[in-house]
Amino acid sequence: MIRTTLETDCDALIALATASGLFDPEQTGMLAGMLRSPDENDVWFTDEDAGVPVGVAYAAPEKMTHGTWNLYWIAITPDRQRQGRGKAMLEHVQEWLIEKRQRIILVETAGVDDFDYVRKFYSDNGFETEARIRDFYEAGVDKVVFRKSLT
């Protein structure tokens, strides 16, 4: 069941982010701070199974735009991956944004081989590659930006 994230989810979601392997320790620390002190405009969703958080999504509006949002994080605990939960979470975020009459959703990810499956996930779900910024994260690690229109 996907629902709005609760303050009581924080520790489980931080552990989930660590276990997913998608985030380095610095990013996990940032996630912890953001979960504990969320911005009022940001949206957090939790996928829960039998009362246990097994997925998280975090999106925020792009500053100085009208209707453009960034999906910063989507992660599913490893033992629950490949069950359609990531797709369901992505669809939930998109439906929420559409209800709010938002226009565009962006996703940024690393352009390394280890993240091929992440890029495939977004491509398979209707996102198009919008940009590649070479050496963005560090030398040899590009940023790949995906875009999807919500209108």
Q: What is the pLDDT of residues 90-130, one digit of tens each?
A: 999 999 999 999 999 999 999 999 999 999 999 999 999 99
Instruction: Tell me which residue range forms the domain holding 26.
Output: 2-149
Q: How far apart are the first and last CA of the chain?
A: 26
Q: DSSP class of residue 62?
A: P
| CATH number of the domain to which 56 belongs | 3.40.630.30
Q: Comparing 40 with 22, which gets the higher pLDDT?
A: 40
> CA 145, CA 101: separation in Å to the nearest integer?
22
Q: Are 85 and 55 in contact (CB under 8 A)?
A: yes
> CA 89, CA 3: separation in Å to the nearest integer?
10
- Counted domains in the chain: 1
